[in-house]
Each structure stands twice: as structure tokens, then as C-alpha cells.
Amino acid sequence: MGLNAVIFGLGSHEAGWRMPESNALASTDLDYWIDTARRAENGGFDALFLGDVLALQQSADRHLSDAMDPVVILSALASVTSRIGLIGTASTSFDHPFHLARRFASLDHISKGRAGWNIVTSSNPLEAYNFGLDAMPNHAERYARAADVTEAVIALWESWQTDARIADKQSGRYLDLAKVQPINHDGPFVRSRGPLNVPRSPQCRPILAQAGASEAGRDFAARYADMVFTVQSDLADAQAFYKDMKARADRHGRAPESLLIYPGIVPIAAPTRQQAEDRLAQMNSFMVIEHVLAKLSEFLGADLSQADLDAPLPDGVGANATQSQSSQSRVAVLVNIARREGLSLRQLLMRLASGRGHMLAVGTGDDIAHTMQLWFESGAADGFNVMAPVMPADLKSFVDLVIPALVAKALFAVDHRSTLRLRLGLCEALSLAGSF
């Protein structure tokens, strides 16, 4: 079972920064990130996974909204860690492939083969405005551009053969130019002559992660990704997603095991179940309901400000999400949770605040480990993206309570192989000549 520590600022809970033990200003403090990385590495996690957003979010006066560049943070962390993978988010909608290829190849070199790129297409119009656009391109166009950019990035990474650097002091010959070739990429959205000016990655190329679950997102992931970060809260839905993604990988000529499926899990672990439930209740007590309601309205493409909080989600809500260019996969998850579990709007807001639609696991270390075992052994997950709701407290609780329970069940062991790709078991699936 693989484990990534996914860090959203000071935690995944909307009100996590208000908890008594939280340092509300720590998100821009490098010492906080160093402590987080070391805690995750010492706890045995395979990778540290940092998300990103390219805009100050709505309700920024009520919610932690600052976001430093994840690759800058990860580059700093590379020097104070030795084993843990370093996966950062970057958008194909606002970055050129040469910048992306160079940035993540550089991170891979300074970390000695531990880098990964989480590919996002972006859907927030606030991000579009920051880059001079009046609106985000439609969903289909964003994924078409993502494919074009990703193919160019991969080609740039592979423009160097592994033995291109000769560095022969005797002859004065540094580089074998026959082993460094232009890519001459001329796609529908981006062009790049290449080659890259950074040598071949220590792990052939950085790990590629992706989180889309729409039809276009699934097909994109099945074609390009090594790892899929998915929002699932129901075991049967997770099993269906897992089976579908493995089948899609096979249809793209890939070994199904070369595509790893990582559902998100929001763990609240405590010595007793009551203590865990009390902790969740404390987190939720700090939630500003108007803020979360505004966020849900944005996701669903519907104004819910006048809706009855103690009634079910109104009929038809979510139907306009495609027109609003929201994340289609997140919309489907939230609507399905509300309908399947018969939640009131208020209860759905609590779920959004605490788990963002992901599986919420509240209980003892053994309780949470049992849930993870069930998903892992029943064909729903190859690993998990662990999203601590309040940092660093809930990451520490997971390391102290859940990981020992997983180890006791022989489900998890620390892997000390040199590169992230090796530790994920993905090297054999990657051809040095290129996989696509």
C-alpha cells in the first residue's frame, strides 16, 4: 500500500487554521514545511504532495488562501530530506511545456530522483483573470491543451539520452550531441523546438500524477499518468472507478498495474473513537457556514444562499456546473453524497468543510487502518493520499496511530529504494525510448 501526505496549507479542513493548536501564519514559514516534510519522511510516507491554485480565493477574508509556489517549497525540502518523494502541482493551462519540463527535471536532479508533477488543467475563472483571460476555456479544450502540453513535456524530458554527458576532461568533449536531439513539437496549442537544457532525469522522468475524474479526465489519466488522485467516499463507487481506470490503461496499451489509483482519505485518529468524534466536532464548530455555502454554490453552479439549510439539496442543483466550468468530477461526488446519504444542506456543508468530498475516516488508529485495508484488498485503491485536516497535529496522529496499525497488518512497510519511481514499482513500465 502506498501513502502520500497531501498538504493543503495548514490542513484540509476549511476551519483548520482556527484550531487552538494551529499556527495560523505558518503556511509561509519554511520551518513549518521542513518540519512537515521530516515528519512525513520519518513516518514512512512515500511522497509529499502539494496542491496549488493560481489566484486568491473567494472569501479570502475568512479562509486561509495564500499559496506559495509548490516547486519552490519542494526544492527547499529536497535539501533537508533524503527519501520522500516530492510531488508538486502545475497547470497546463497557464504554463509553457519548456518551463514545466525544465522546472520538474531540475527538481528531480536536486532531489536525486524524487520529483513528481501533478498535472492540473485549472477550472477557476479567478485564475484565468490573473493571466489576462476573460474566462477559462471550456472543459474539452482544457483537456485537449493538457494532452498537447504533456506530450511536449515528456518529449523534452526524453530529448536527452541517459549517457549524453561524456565530461571527458582529456579530450575536452563534454556532451555527445548525437544523443541530445530537438523534439520539434508542433501541436494544436503549443510549439517547442527543444531539446531541453537539463540532462535526463535520474528516474528516467518525474512521476506524473493527475486528478480528473470526468470522462475526459479519466481518459487523459489512463494515457499519461502514473498515479491518479481520486475523490471517492463510497466503496462501491471507488471499486467501479478503479476497475474503469485499469481497463482504460489497458486499452491505451499500458499494463494496468502501471497506473496507480490513490483515493483521498481525511483521517481523524485518536486513542478512542469518542475522542476522534469530539475532535471532528471541534473542527466543525469553527466553520463559517456562509463561507462554505458560497464555496458549494461555486462548485455546483447554483446560488444556495437562500436555500433551507435543514432541507435536502434542492432538485436540479449541479445541472449548471458544466456551463460554469466547475470541476465536473467534484460536482458529481458532492451531489452523489447528498443524494445517496440523504443529507441536509447543512450536513453536506459539514462534509465539504471536513473532507472536501473525500472519504472521512474518524476513529482509532485500528479503525482507520481497517477501513484502508478493506479498500486496498477489495480493488478500490493501490494506495491513499492522506489529507490531514489540521496540520501538523493530524499528520502526527496518523503517523503515531494509523501507520503502526498498517504495519502490524503487513499492509505497509518503509521502502528505501533510491528513486520515487522505483519505490512505486513503476520503472519496468517505463521505456527509455518513451511510452507514448
The mean-pLDDT minimum among 69-78, 187-196, 333-342, 388-397 falls in 333-342
Residue 332 domain flag:
no
Total number of domains in the chain: 1
Per-residue confidence (pLDDT) for residue 65, from 0 to 100: 66
Instruction: For the chain, give the percent of residues with pLDDT over 70.
Output: 93
- Confirm or deny that 185 is annotated as ligand binding: no
User: How many helices and strands in the chain, by DSSP H and E?
Assistant: 15, 13
Does residue 381 contact residue 261 with C-beta atoms inside 8 Å?
yes
Phi first, then psi, for residue 297 (nearest 5°) are: -60, -40
Kindly state the average pLDDT of the residues 139-160: 97
Burial 166-191 (b: 16+ CB within 10 A, else e): eeeeeeeeeeeeebbeebebeeebbe
CATH number at residue 198: 3.20.20.30
Residue 324 domain flag:
no
Residue 322 domain flag:
no
Mean pLDDT for the chain overall = 91
Task: State which residues form the domain around 154.
Answer: 2-272+356-423
More confident residue, 368 or 331: 368
Alpha carbons 436 and 430: distance in angstroms, whole number: 10
- pLDDT of 410 strictly over 90: yes
Per-residue confidence band for 80, with pLDDT thresholds at 50, 70 and 90: very high
Residue 375 domain flag:
yes
Alpha carbons 291 and 353: distance in angstroms, whole number: 10
Residue 432 domain flag:
no
- pLDDT of 330 strictly over 90: no
Per-residue confidence band for 431, with pLDDT thresholds at 50, 70 and 90: very low
Per-residue confidence (pLDDT) for residue 200, from 0 to 100: 96
Per-residue confidence band for 334, with pLDDT thresholds at 50, 70 and 90: confident
Residue 412 domain flag:
yes
- Confirm or deny that 92 is annotated as ligand binding: no
Residue 335 domain flag:
no
- pLDDT of 216 strictly over 70: yes
Residue 222 domain flag:
yes
Q: Which three cell numbers stand for residue 51?
A: 496542491
Per-residue confidence band for 300, with pLDDT thresholds at 50, 70 and 90: confident
For the question of whether the overall pTM of this predicted structure is more than 0.75, the answer is yes
Among candidate residues 66, 43, 52, 48, the one with its CA nearest the CA of residue 6: 48
Per-residue confidence (pLDDT) for residue 291, from 0 to 100: 83
Among candidate residues 37, 134, 132, the one with its CA nearest the CA of residue 79: 37
For 52-67, write each residue's pLDDT tens digit: 989 987 766 766 667 8
Kindly state the average pLDDT of the residues 122-129: 90
Cα dist. 156→13, 192, 194, 419 in Å? 38, 9, 6, 20
Which phi-psi region, left, alpha or beta, contains residue 282 (left: φ > 0; alpha: ψ -120 to 50)? alpha
Per-residue confidence band for 323, with pLDDT thresholds at 50, 70 and 90: very low
- Confirm or deny that 139 is annotated as ligand binding: yes
For 343-367, write each residue's pLDDT tens digit: 899 888 888 888 778 999 999 999 9
Which uninterrupted H or E stretch holds 210?
Answer: strand 207-210
Per-residue confidence (pLDDT) for residue 436, from 0 to 100: 41
Per-residue confidence (pLDDT) for residue 69, from 0 to 100: 96
Q: Which three cell numbers stand for residue 206?
A: 518525474
- pLDDT of 228 strictly over 50: yes
